[in-house]
Amino acid sequence: MAGTLPDRRMATRRRSLLGAAIRTDLHPSETECVVRDRGVAGLRLELSHAVPLPHSFEIHIPKTRETRQVEVVWRDEGAMGVRFVSVKPSDAEVIPLSLMRDLHAARQDIATLRARLSRLGDEA
């Protein structure tokens, strides 16, 4: 980056050197890039500054078998910082533990009934 900018990241990143592919609706093919830093909240990518990209896109890292939706935080000549787009807690569906226990009990009841039906069918 040109000049020294303050580091405003919420979490630290580890250096890396991973090949990655950017997938967008703008390009029928993938745009190759390199993941130079990675953290729990985002990545620093190295790529050609001439590549036009939307504000958000999908990135695929074959080595880690990871595909994530990201959005651009900053962009400079040859590099870009992106943050992972996560599901908002209000959009996520929380399943109560009691409901999961009821589901487990219902599945056991179904298995028991299937076994009974099978035995009845064998007797007939």
Count of CB atoms situated within 10 Å of the CB of 110? 10
The CATH architecture one would assign to domain 13-84 is: Beta Barrel (2.40)
For the chain, 124 residues long, give each residue's pLDDT as a single digit of tens.
455 555 555 556 688 889 999 998 877 778 899 999 998 889 999 998 777 888 999 999 999 888 999 999 999 888 999 999 975 554 556 778 888 899 999 999 999 999 999 998 888 6
Count of CB atoms situated within 10 Å of the CB of 52? 8
Using CA atoms, how far apart are residues 51 and 71, in angstroms rounded to an integer? 15
Where are the chain's structural domains?
13-84, 95-124
